[in-house]
Amino acid sequence: QEIPVRLRLSITHIDRDWAIWFGDDGTSGVYLQPWLPFWPDAATLRPGDQVEVEGVSVVGSINPWVKPSRIRPLGVHKPAAPRHVALVRRPPVDLDGQLVELDVTVQSSRWELGHRYLDAFAPMPISIVIPESGMREIPATWPGGRVRVRGVLGLNLDPRSDSFSIT
């Protein structure tokens, strides 16, 4: 069931390759999939920008998820502060789409299709994606070392899985 929504969001992350955005309305993270060719202002938006989104909520595996019919830029605002989290088990659903910060131990790294992927432990396994990264090599101190990571937390689409990622 689709429910009409109108939200004011602070953009926390935009991945232009995957055509996904994350925003924060002050109460939770929100996943948006605005088909970028239809939004002429989309190319100029950056994390920290404020937007008004009209559309419908979509019941699905990512929560909350909004399919926008209109996005109106409202200007630049102070970016949302990340929530510092310490994870000992799968993050709660209310952290999905939230801007978070956590300390991890980097185990390995790989470069794929313009993105840097880190496999880490915090103290449970976590995947970290550094999108559109020019970071071909990681600092020598990262493997086996502690790193503070800041990004949008994404839970696995399968709620029975313990996997999650930070983008």
Instruction: Give the pLDDT score at 62.
Output: 60
Q: Is the pTM of this model over 0.85?
A: no
Rounded mean pLDDT of 48-75? 81
Instruction: Give the pLDDT score at 12.
Output: 82
* Tens digit of each residue's pLDDT (9 = 90 or more) over 31-42: 887 655 555 566
| Cis omega (within 30 of 0) for bond into 123 | yes
Q: Which of 22-26, 53-57, 70-74 has the lowest mean pLDDT?
A: 22-26
* Tens digit of each residue's pLDDT (9 = 90 or more) over 119-155: 888 777 888 887 765 666 777 778 888 888 888 777 6
**Cβ atoms of 129 and 86 closer than 8 Å:** no
Q: Give whole-number Cα distances, 112 to 82, 115, 124, in Å.
A: 27, 5, 23
Calculate the average pLDDT of the chain.
76
